[in-house]
Structure 1
Amino acid sequence: MILPWFNSSPPEDFEKCVNLCYEPSNLSPNCNPSFDLKTSLSAAVKVSRASRSSVDLYNGGGSVRGPKIVRGDDGYVLEDVPHLLDYIPNLPGAKSPCVTHAIRIDKIDQNLNLKSSLSSSAAAAPVRASILARMSFVGKPRLKIVEGEAGYVLEDVPHLTDYLPDLPSYANPLQNNPAYSVVKQYFVNVDDTVAQKIVVHKSSPRGTHFRRSGPRQKVYFESDEVHACIVTCGGLCPGLNTVIREIVCGLYHMYGVTKVLGIEGGYKGFYARNTIDLTPKSVNDIHKRGGTILGSSRGGHDTAKIVDSIEDRGINQVYIIGGDGTQKGASVIYEEIERRGLKVAVAGIPKTIDNDIAVIDKSFGFDTAVEEAQRAINAAHVEAESVENGVGVVKLMGRYSGFIAMHATLANRDVDCCLIPESPFYLEGPGGLFEYMEKRLKEQGHMVLVVAEGAGQDLIAESLRSMNQEDASGNKLLLDVGLWLSQRIKDHFAKRPNMPITLKYIDPTYMIRAVPSNASDNVYCTLLAHSAIHGAMAGYTGFTIGSVNGRHAYIPFHRITETQNKVVITDRMWARLLSSTNQPSFLNSQTIEDSKKEETPTQLLDGENCNENGSLDARESQLI
């Protein structure tokens, strides 16, 4: 037995151990039943590393050194870049100055070795030359898991044939579409997947993957049988109309679908009989407008009534655009449709201006929001620097996460302090906000402060809070931290007659989300809409679409609703912001350590997430 990821045979005892675990009927009499698979495999990998994982430096002729190649397991090849140590081996090293910053980027005290990785349910499966694929539906929601060798895990999405096994398939009409006739290898292989993590160590398990989006050779709907509908729910977001337009036009121009309904007013529009016919002509220029032509609402989700309406109208493709609450509702709709055995594909397109949806790189409308926020920050800066001791306060959206505030601050470079929900702060005392403001005003005579709407809620007096109040979508109602903070700043400096301030407060919240999407978001919305169409036509259902490491993928509903994406204050992006604004972190060492234990970094911190032996720490960072 030769494993495909070794150049030479592994040790004999390792082969016997794999046979013991995988083929008990073929067990050799010489096998030790108590042999430890993990120990044996670890030993085999060490042999493999000794023979393959060395750095091969090839001379390319003359004085130019050839490529620097590092080879690892499972066909892993790293085309490395040169390092000064390659030709100055005794070069002394120094500790990075980053560790002396206001917020230290310390090592995360965790360990991930090969043995613990292989003890996971996927990696502990016997390693074979061909992929071992098996489906398991467990719990609620039911998970469709495909496991392969070397720790490969595919979190698959449902397919209509899972509960309609005799469903016929048809040739994809794109084969006859002149617009796509020149595209080479246009159809996506059914086995193509997208890795959730692309920054890995050479000995890391292959990890979680998602089904790659795109058109398949076979579809499960004929063009004239498709009766699609589109619904938008929740708050407004730049790009909603673009997604609507591209679903309608994509269905028509790519698949010849002519019957598309628009459900007005959110989920309740399904059973309130509010619908409009959507055609390429009627949606031709809606991408130039803000908001949504279908209208929107929060709440109104009655699963039985919604599915009854879908069934009564003969709808067989449902496109649902909305945030995490909307996607939870879409998941429930899919489950009811499956329970009834209906041939209806349910596709979700995640929407939130806050960019706090898990797994995906970003949500549509985020780029537009950051760009639009620049106008408010620029206005605050002009106001602040035009008077002595001028202070400009700008409140931006960000109920639970501060991505808009952080990115807008980094993009603008005129901001002196940024406050977000993930980073607690305090006002009084050494290292507090007021002390920093006094210092900044003495240095430059003005100051601009950006605050996310969810920041500082713990500081607002209990009598003024709305902790137990929620909107129709279940979101906690927050008081205006911008107004509260502005008043506290005024009160503080009123006690210092030698430093009178002039404060201007700007709240561009609804200006930011009500504008049309910019060029970048328009392109992104188009790709999301087309990916959703291809998935539904190929028979996939119960999925949401998003970009994962730059590749669009079909993601199970539960993966984007089980948690929220948040700014990680022990990550390099937040460190860049602190370096840009020169603000204090407002954190003590214990808070930093607690944050590291609770949150997963969004990026690898060069060398800081690694153990002394070079292996990655247990919580490899999840890329945004």
Structure 2
Amino acid sequence: MELPSPSDVQVPTLGACTVPSPLPMAEDGFIDEGDRVLLFSSTRPLQPFLQSGREPPAFEMAGPRRKIFFDPKKLTCGIVTCGGLCPGLNDVIRSIVLTLRHGYGVQRILGFRYGYLGLTGKSSDPPLELTLELISTIHERGGTLLGSSRGPQDISEMVDTLVRQNVGILFTIGGDGTLRGASAICQEITRRQLSIAVIGVPKTIDNDLDWTMRSFGFTTAVSEARESIYAAHTEAVGAYNGIGLVKLMGRHSGFISAHASLASGDVNFCLVPEVPFSLHGEKGFLAALERRLGQRRHAVVVVAEGAGQDILQDPAHQEQDASGNLRLKDVGVFLRDQIGLHFRERGIETTVKYIDPSYTIRSLPAGALDSEFCLMLGQHAAHAGMAGKTDLVVGLWNQNFTYIPISLSVARTKKIDPRSDLWQRVLETTGQPASMPG
């Protein structure tokens, strides 16, 4: 693993903090600026640093500071949600508002509608005044109170809106595209020499953001995915040569599929983007599936949406979505059809039941663990903004909340390492071949 340099983990600030924090807490409850969270969780990687006298790499610890940058009485804050829906969006919005209002006494908090589009001024929907009454029960519902959208917008127009609305802190809740947009907004703010902080809260249900152990919505997604796997297993064992096929979210990373497979214990094949496979040939997936049916007369297959794209995609005719991402081909439908064709050609009777719960999962309210997690993310985002920190994302590392520069968090996508303990546990649980080449 390539380690970040000291400059890579340095979080920008708007200036010196001179305003005493109004938070009602004991003196030892505040976080010192020098508090850090080590990147390492074991002692062996630390030895070279200890022997050479160098300071090991570490992230800035999240939390409230004794002195803050903004005067809460004069401050306006803004919140925007971008990208696809995810369980917990409303929980994060509510947490930020509650912390700003109850903890710091900020009176004016605006919610910009439909993602970055609402920041450009092109939308006919004015910002919502996020009062305590308005956000009181939104955590009980899925989706986002503010609406969302995809795709880039004019950076200069968005900063113009922040200036016009006198916004001092902008909270952006979204995935890597949203965070890159937030960092671009920071650059324009710096160019104009404005005192506006931009704080990112990572929203990626796939749990694929680097340098953070967990993103909100992921736990809820795994829990609900397990219910779909249970249904697929029930259908499979109820039929002669029954096959239950479940497609789950995961464009580049198969964490939902892997953890849901482990949680269910009923999956026989877990196909993820990080581990290529072939359909045909003696060692391919279809042959392995046929052997499984011959042994047990049923099988459950879980596939992440980004798996097998090397088989489906035509390099000469690739399309992109509104966010500039490769438009994925539907691997679930493809596998369903290929499985049916394979066994028909061999004269083997099978029954295939296909389940795609993706949009059902995305629109759910957050589960208990995610709700608590969202609450803490929102609180730490508010603490960061009030302290004048900017161009950062709130993360979780080694069981501590941290502040990570956006540039570091989006530099690469977190993926399953096929050599990791996680993937080894998947192989042991499913019994699938370690590789399925053609």
TM-score, normalised relative to structure 1: 0.67
2:427 to 578, 596, 601: 578
Partner residue in 2 for 1:186: 29
Q: Aligned-pair distance for 1:207? A: 2.8
Q: Aligned-pair distance for 1:300? A: 4.0
1:467 & 1:355 partners in 2: Cα distance?
Answer: 29
2:94 to 234, 242, 245: 245
1:549 to 390, 398, 402: 398
2:317 & 2:355 partners in 1: Cα distance?
Answer: 25
Change in CA separation of 1:494 and 1:263 when aligned onto 2, cut-off 3 Å: same
Partner residue in 1 for 2:48: 204
Give a deviation string over 1:264-319, Cα, whole Å, max 9, x none: 01001012353110011110110111110100000142100000110111110100
Partner residue in 1 for 2:112: 263
Q: Aligned-pair distance for 1:242? A: 0.1
**Code of the aligned partner of 2:334:** W
1:159 & 1:447 partners in 2: Cα distance?
Answer: 54
Give a deviation string over 1:428-467, Cα, whole Å, max 9, x none: 22222122112211221111100001111111263xx785
Give a deviation string over 1:9-39, Cα, whole Å, max 9, x none: xxxxxxxxxxxxxxxxxxxxxxxxxxxxxxx
| Alignment of 1:504 onto 2:320 | no
**Code of the aligned partner of 2:198:** V
SS at 2:213's partner residue? coil
SS at 1:156's partner residue? coil
2:172 to 313, 320, 330: 320
Partner residue in 1 for 2:344: 494
| Alignment of 1:362 onto 2:206 | no
Partner residue in 1 for 2:21: 172
1:448 & 1:457 partners in 2: Cα distance?
Answer: 21
Partner residue in 1 for 2:148: 296
Whether the aligned pair in 2 keeps the contact of 1:233 and 1:266 (CA below 8 Å) is yes
Partner residue in 2 for 1:227: 76
2:30 & 2:157 partners in 1: Cα distance?
Answer: 37
Whether the aligned pair in 2 keeps the contact of 1:466 and 1:478 (CA below 8 Å) is no
SS at 2:243's partner residue? strand
Paired residue total = 429
| Alignment of 1:275 onto 2:127 | yes
SS at 2:9's partner residue? strand
Q: Aligned-pair distance for 1:342? A: 1.2
2:235 & 2:4 partners in 1: Cα distance?
Answer: 59
SS at 2:160's partner residue? helix
Residue identity (%): 43
SS at 1:229's partner residue? strand
Change in CA separation of 1:224 and 1:543 when aligned onto 2, cut-off 3 Å: same
Partner residue in 2 for 1:127: none
Q: Aligned-pair distance for 1:332? A: 0.7
Matches within 5 A, 1:113-512: 145=7, 155-161=9-15, 169-174=18-23, 177=24, 180=25, 183=26, 185-201=28-44, 203-205=47-49, 206-270=55-119, 271-272=121-122, 274-460=126-312, 462=314, 468-497=318-347, 499-512=348-361
Q: Aligned-pair distance for 1:121? A: 12
TM-score, normalised relative to structure 2: 0.94
Structure 1 moving runs of 4+ over 3 Å: none
Matches within 5 A, 1:559-578: 559-578=408-427
Change in CA separation of 1:466 and 1:456 when aligned onto 2, cut-off 3 Å: farther
Change in CA separation of 1:467 and 1:215 when aligned onto 2, cut-off 3 Å: farther
SS at 2:78's partner residue? strand
Change in CA separation of 1:218 and 1:467 when aligned onto 2, cut-off 3 Å: farther
Q: Show structure 1 runs of 5+ residues with no match.
A: 1-109, 111-116, 123-143, 146-153, 162-166, 592-624
1:290 & 1:371 partners in 2: Cα distance?
Answer: 15
**Code of the aligned partner of 2:336:** S
Change in CA separation of 1:380 and 1:587 when aligned onto 2, cut-off 3 Å: closer
Q: Report 1 or 2 for greater relative contact order, CA contacts < 8 Å, sequence distance ≥ 6.
A: 2
Q: For the pair shown, which has the larger CA radius of gyration, 1 or 2? A: 1
1:403 & 1:269 partners in 2: Cα distance?
Answer: 32
Change in CA separation of 1:466 and 1:320 when aligned onto 2, cut-off 3 Å: farther
Change in CA separation of 1:461 and 1:366 when aligned onto 2, cut-off 3 Å: closer
2:17 & 2:422 partners in 1: Cα distance?
Answer: 49
Q: Which moved more, 1:428-437 or 1:513-522?
A: 428-437
SS at 2:57's partner residue? strand
2:191 & 2:393 partners in 1: Cα distance?
Answer: 20
SS at 2:28's partner residue? coil
**Code of the aligned partner of 1:373:** A
1:317 & 1:388 partners in 2: Cα distance?
Answer: 60
